[in-house]
Structures are given as structure tokens and as C-alpha cells.
Amino acid sequence: MNYEGLSISTSRDVVARVDLARKQRLGMPEAIYAQSKTTQEVVAIVRHHLLSSGDPVIVTRCTDDVVNEIKAIDDVEADSINVFPDLRSEASYRTVVIGEPTPIPSEVVILTAGTSDLRVAYECKGTLFALGINAKVYADVGVAHVDRILEILPELYDFDVVVVVAGMEGALASVVGGLLPQPIVAVPTSAGYGSSFDGLTALLAMTASCAQGVSVMGIDNGFGAACAAFRVASRVSSSPIIEALS
């Protein structure tokens, strides 16, 4: 196993053990979780990845300050950095991808129940981009006006995997799981009020879904949803799954 030790000198001792062999084992490179790390720590780990591996570097849960520090790293060209959502949109955190991913011939769609769920959807989209999939996002198609999902239903059959991102009571995952034959990856979000309990209600509803075979991630885990979708999408044909049912 190729585990590389990395020591960072800050006001406290920090050691990051960078897993450069993950791409060879799993087909997915290691990601850097920026939340709860200092900007200096994130930049040091990013530098180590760039010097040690030719794979795209994924950094999740970045503040704008962290994004700007990454963009200022020496020898990193501006056009090699992609930010989800981009800096023109207000966001509490962003996903940064450095480098050019190798495309794979599969299609993934991300559905959000509401606009408030987009923050998690962008984390999923950014991670999928780093893994070689340009996912399409349909936002605000939740069950409060169920006709919205029915209107786009014919288009959804063309995708190999469907990711459903929903807060509140998380009902969209069950609706989609009962309408579409593809693998469904559901992500509960902490969006909601009343008895949503920061995503716990959506999580429990999704895991108790009557729709058969819906896979459920942890609360707000757009990164995990992308990796689950990639595991499926990278194994299937580029032909739409619905062709097998035609």
C-alpha cells in the first residue's frame, strides 16, 4: 500500500497520511475534507497531492477563503480549477476540483426536492465531475407540487443512475424510487423546519421507504452519494438502462 506521511508545521503538530493508492484500489482518488481543517493544512495537503499524483484533486466543504488560497497555489493554472458552485453564487461551502478527470461513458442525474438542497447537490456534482462524470441537475422538483417530477420523467429514463437530494420529510426519494427502474441513491439533507430534526426525519423516511432498492446516504453527504453513483455508473454500459426494458 502506498501511504505517504505528510507533516505540517503549524501552531500545533499535525500529521496527514495521504492515501495515494486509493485510485488504484477503488478507481476513486482520495478527497480532502476541508471543513474543520485550517486553511494552511488544506493548502499543504493539496500541494502534496499535486506533487505526488497525476490524479484530479478533490477538496470538499471549502469556504471562500480556502478556495482563494487554493487558486493562489504556485504552478496551479486557473483553467485547471473547477469550483462547485462557482464563486458567482452564494454558498456556505464549495467543492474544488483541480486537474482534468478522465471521462467515463455513463450518465448520472441529480434531483433536488427544493432549492435549499442545492448545496448538497453541488457537492455531489463536483465530486462526480472529478470522477469523470458531468452530471445533470434538476432542481426544485419536490413533492409539494408533484407535477414537476412528472413533467421531466421521460428525460430521466436516459440516465444510468439517479441521485435524489431531499430534506423536509424526504418523500421525493420514495416517489422517484417508485417511478424509475435505475439505481437510486438518496441523500437526506438538513434543510427543513418543525419536526425535520436537521435531516433525521428525512433519513428515517428514506431508510423506511416502500420503494424497492433505494440506497440511502448519510445526512448532507453529497460526496458519498457521488461515490456510490460512480461505483454503479463506472460498471454499466453507456447505453441507457431503460433500453433493456423496451
pLDDT in tens, 13-35: 546 766 666 766 777 778 889 99
pLDDT band of residue 3 (cuts 50, 70, 90) is very low
Report whether 29 contacts 50 (CB < 8 A). no
179 with 235, same domain?
A: yes
Query: Can you state the angle between helices 64-71 and 39-52, rounded to 10 degrees?
Result: 40
Count of residues for the chain? 246
Residue 120, H or E segment: helix 118-130
Three-state DSSP class for 222?
A: helix
Query: What is the mean predicted confidence (pLDDT) over 218-230?
Result: 94
Instruction: Kindly tell me if the per-residue pLDDT of 90 is higher than 70.
Output: yes
Question: Would you state the pLDDT for residue 201?
Answer: 96
End-of-domain residue from the set 54, 71, 100? 100
| Residues 90 and 137 reside in one and the same domain | no
* Pair 55, 147 in one domain: no
Note whether 111 and 147 are same-domain residues: yes
200, 232: one domain = yes
Q: Within 13 A of 111's CA, how many CA atoms are on the CB side?
A: 29
Q: How far is Cα 227 from Cα 112, in angstroms, rounded to an integer?
A: 18
Q: What pLDDT was estimated at residue 118?
A: 94
Last residue in a domain, options 58, 75, 100: 100
Mean pLDDT of 169-194: 94
Least confident of 6-20, 66-80, 89-103, 178-192: 6-20
CA dihedral over 36, 40, 43, 49, signed as positive or negative: negative
| CATH value at residue 213 | 3.40.50.1970
For 129-164, b/e burial (b = at least 16 CB within 10 A) is bbbbbebeebbebbbeeeebbeeeeeebbebbbbbb
Shared-domain flag, residues 59 and 128 = no
Q: With 0-12 CB in 10 A as exposed, 13-18 as middle and 19+ as buried, what is 104?
A: middle
In whole angstroms, give the CA distance from residue 122 to residue 220: 11
- Is-contact 181 212, C-beta < 8 A? no
Q: Is residue 94 located within the same domain as residue 141?
A: no
Q: What are phi and psi of 42, to 5 degrees?
A: -60, -45
Q: Which amino acid is at 91?
A: A
The pLDDT of residue 186: 97
Do 233 and 183 fall within a single domain?
yes
Domain end, chosen from 100, 116, 145, is at 100
pLDDT at 47 over 50: yes
Q: Which three cell numbers mark 58?
A: 478533490
User: Do residues 59 and 32 touch, judged by C-beta distance below 8 A?
Assistant: yes
Residue 135's domain comprises 102-246
Q: What φ, ψ does residue 186 adopt, rounded to 5°?
A: -105, 140
The pLDDT of residue 119 is 93
Do 67 and 106 reside in the same domain of the chain?
Answer: no
Question: Domain check: are 51 and 160 in the same one?
Answer: no
Domains held by the chain: number: 2
Residues 30 and 91 in one domain: yes
Q: What is the mean pLDDT of residues 125-143?
A: 93
Q: Are residues 61 and 152 in the same domain?
A: no
